[in-house]
A and B are shown apart, each in its own frame.
Chain A
Amino acid sequence: MADTPAIELRGVARYFGERIALRDLSVTVPAGATLAVLGRNGAGKSTLLRVLATLLRQHAGEVVLLGEPLPKRAFAVRGRLGLLAHEPLLYRDLSGRENLRYHARLHGVDPERVEELLSAVRMERRADEPVRLLSRGMVQRVAVCRAVLHDPEILLLDEARANLDPGASELVEPLVGRPAGRTRVITSHDPQAALAEADLALGLRDGRPTFSLPASEVTPAHVRELYS
């Protein structure tokens, strides 16, 4: 792993009006490591991912991605991040292939990469159908392709395997799983599964960290407390 951490958060806070979405959040993720962010609905997991994706600014604290402080140097890290969130970020009236080619052009990626990814998730035969006609699992497979199209160094995965059957989960594993070798921040409603593929774990409750530990040190008691 490189010396510079891929992600550094120090005392990060984010508010939506009066509501605290994140507060006093500090964590460091080495390059190539996976951080699992756990917490109940509304704990601040998605907000954290959006801050890391440069889509939201922190209201306090420091966020440093790949050595670049945010939001000042956000332009330097965009294009080195991949986000797979609840929304697939695909146009419903374009086909999967058209969507991916559009994103490839935005990221300056060779169109061949689109075909390579569609083939990897076995979507090449349905890739010319409008996204609105695809099942949710198929849309998720195309969304995975979009997230990794530009070979990002950091992957931000919000329920990456949502809507995927076991077969499809296996297909996307080389792209978004540990074998991809990227720095990852993952959220999941299945804490055991998330911990199994993580090096570090962060527990969030009402936007505040309840624990920040190596994943192997997270006990069932930690998890119970987080979700109780």
Chain B
Amino acid sequence: MKTAFTVLRKDLLLELRTLETLPAMALFSISTFVIFHFGLNQDTIHGQLAAGVLTATLLFAGILGVNRLFVAEREQGGFDAFLLAPVDRSSLLLAKATALFLFLVALEVIAVPAFGVLLLGPPLGPRLPSLIVVLALADLGIAVIGTLVSALAVQTRARDVIGPVMGLPLLIPALIATARAIGPLLGTVGPGSLPGKWLLILALYDLVFALVAYAVFDFLLED
């Protein structure tokens, strides 16, 4: 845990200094909302359509973060330095997944209110607590799968392509569960109750991939 915290702190400090990831993710999501606004030719949307637009936008914005996650390690020798240290290698997984999770949360702090202003018909306020629960579970899945895929992709020359090509298919079940869970929350008649079935699917998906990531991450770092 101490090592993971050390790496996480370094990652957050680097992002604070360079602002290479978060602003791009936020700008991408807001631009996408604007595109949907005009592309759908609707002033407001609600229900399942709104859930799909929000989920897909956040997922694609998240992929930008996934692509950047290990770039500094690869380009500036961070991998070698970490591998030379007498530390548990899975702490790198924990640190990177936590960093990505925090980037996604920060993205949503900007993107969800923007979605409420630019596209969403029903008021966001009463729906927010339930939305936070669903998005937190979705973020967890994106963070774990994204870290796994990013660690794999960064070892290749075509890492910018490999990240989305591998990550998106793996994230489709999470995308479906998230959109289905959010749909009832964004209805016009008031926030519906949280759909337990989809939340459970999302949580199980997160758990399975967390275990898979823990099991294989060491091998991804090996020569």
Q: Which of A118-150 contact B (CB under 8 A)?
A: 130, 146
Known contacts A56-B223, A93-B17, A102-B6; A83 and B85 CB within 8 A of each other: no
B residues whose Cβ falls under 8 Å from a Cβ of A: 2-3, 6, 10, 13-14, 17-18, 72, 76-78, 80-87, 222-223
B12 vs chain A, min Cβ distance (A)? 12
Is chain B's binding surface mostly helix, strand, loop or mixed? Answer: helix
Known: A93-B17, A98-B13. 19 other contacts (CB 8 A): A53-B80, A53-B84, A54-B83, A54-B84, A55-B83, A55-B223, A56-B223, A87-B76, A89-B80, A90-B76, A91-B10, A91-B72, A94-B14, A102-B6, A105-B2, A106-B6, A106-B81, A108-B86, A146-B81
Q: Is the CB of B14 within 8 A of A78?
A: no
Q: Is the CB of B83 within 8 A of A103?
A: no
> In the complex the two chains form, what is the Cα distance from A35 to B119 in whole Å?
68
Query: Which chain A residue lies CB-closest to B89?
Result: A75
**What string of 1s and 0s marks CB contacts (under 8 Å) between A18-62 and chain B?**
000000000000000000000000000000000001111100000
Known contacts A57-B223, A94-B10, A98-B13; A106 and B82 CB within 8 A of each other: yes
Q: Is the CB of B6 within 8 A of A79?
A: no
Q: 19 A-B residue contacts at CB 8 Å?
A: A55-B80, A83-B84, A87-B76, A87-B80, A89-B80, A90-B77, A91-B10, A91-B14, A91-B78, A93-B17, A94-B13, A98-B13, A102-B6, A103-B85, A105-B3, A105-B6, A106-B82, A106-B85, A146-B81
Q: Is the CB of A107 within 8 A of B77?
A: no
